[in-house]
A = this chain, B = another copy of it.
Amino acid sequence: VNLAPQSGADHSLAAFVARTSLGPEERQALDAAAGLPRAVARGECILEQGSSPAALSILCSGVALSARSLADGRQQILSLFVPGDALDCTPFVSPSRVRISALTASTVAQIPTGTVKRLMQRHPAIMHALWGETAMHAAIQQEWMVSLGRQSAMARLAHLICELSFRFRAAGVADEDNCAFPLTQSEAADALGISVVHMNRVLQQLRKKGLVSLSRGQLSIIDKDALYLAAEFDPEYLRCGTGLI
């Protein structure tokens, strides 16, 4: 499983534009504005909670997350980002209410806010594409809300596994039934809204039932049908560029 950058730096946005309907003109404009991607170490912060982003960031390789930290030190992970995703382009200017950081060593292409604004004025299609990113992540968040509100811990974990493997495959960094699982049990617990201890027990149930195997960051889906069933997973919502006019 390969989370490394693709071919050349001049195609750093390839994964992003691939799922948009942008024409060659817009692609070139974006590529020119982005320049060389920046390397971000595992755990390093890309955007602080409470600070305003100076640029639009697009993940070229690696995995990133957005999370809200609570007063008591706990946190809730709100989104995961795979290569090609725009990193929370939503609260573009105002103070961000979430922290965005790299879950694995990553590379990020950044376009200064002012440049993005100009690009969007000249190419409405670019605004459209960014809106699509916002919309797709909102759809993913809705699935998480259903999980968090109405599903057992095991269904939630199963769902997270399904979603991640599906998105990795769509991003071209995984094959059919094997992919990276870049979260520690503690981080997965923060995403699922459960405790680490319970996370561990639930994971062992999934293993014992023969649905998945997971060790040192490598995930294999063994019984896909059973896993999808346990998760009530329907990948329809992950269809990229979905729906927007």
Give chain A's interface residues, CB within 8 Å of chain B: 68, 70-71, 74-76, 78, 90-95, 97-98, 113, 116-117, 120-121, 124, 127-128, 130-131, 134-135, 137-139, 141-142, 144-146, 148-150, 192-193, 232, 236-237, 239, 242-245
Instruction: Give the Cβ gap from A76 to chain B, nearest Cβ, in Å.
Output: 4
User: Once bound together, how far apart are the Cα atoms of A74 and B144, in whole Å?
Assistant: 16
Decide: B120 and A245 in contact? CB cutoff 8 A.
yes
A127, B121: Cα distance in complex, Å: 12
Main secondary structure of the interface of A (DSSP, over half): helix
Q: Of the candidates B94, B137, B145, B232, which one forms a contact with A242 in the assembled complex, judged by CB atoms under 8 Å apart?
A: B94
CB distance from A77 to the nearest CB of B (A): 8
A243 and B92: CB pair below 8 A? yes
**A113 — which chain B residues lie within 8 A by C-beta?**
245
Q: Which of B139, B141, B236 contacts A142 (CB 8 A)?
A: B141
Q: List the B side residues contacting A244 at CB < 8 Å.
A: 92-93
Separation of A91 and B120 alpha carbons in the complex (Å)? 22
* Chain B neighbourhood of A75, CB < 8 A: 150
Interchain CA distance A88-B243 in the complex, whole Å: 12
Contact of A131 with B141 in the complex, beta carbons under 8 Å: no
Query: What are 5 sample pairs from A and B whose C-beta atoms fall under 8 A apart?
Result: A68-B146, A91-B135, A97-B237, A120-B245, A150-B193
- A236: chain B residues at CB < 8 Å are 95, 97
A92 proximity list for chain B (CB < 8 A): 243-245
Inter-chain contacts of A144 with B (CB < 8 A): 145
**A131 in complex: contacting residue of B131, B149, B239, CB < 8 Å:** B131
A124-B127, A127-B127 known; A91 vs B139 contact (CB < 8 Å): yes
Scoring A91, A113, A138, A144 by chain B CB atoms within 10 A of each residue's CB, the highest score goes to A138
Contact call A70/B150, Cβ cutoff below 8 A = yes
Q: Tell whether, in the assembled complex, residue B139 and residue A137 are in contact, meaning their CB atoms are under 8 Å apart.
A: no
Report the separation of the CA atoms of residues A192 and B148 in the bound assembly, to the nearest whole angstrom: 10
**Are A93 and B245 in contact, with the CB atoms below 8 A?**
yes
Contact of A142 with B70 in the complex, beta carbons under 8 Å? no
Task: Check if A78 sits within 8 Å of B232, measured CB to CB.
Answer: no
CB distance from A68 to the nearest CB of B (A): 5
> Which of B94, B98, B127 is A239 in contact with, Cβ under 8 Å?
B94
Partner of A138, one of B127, B138, B239: B138
| Distance of A130 from chain B, by nearest CB (Å) | 7
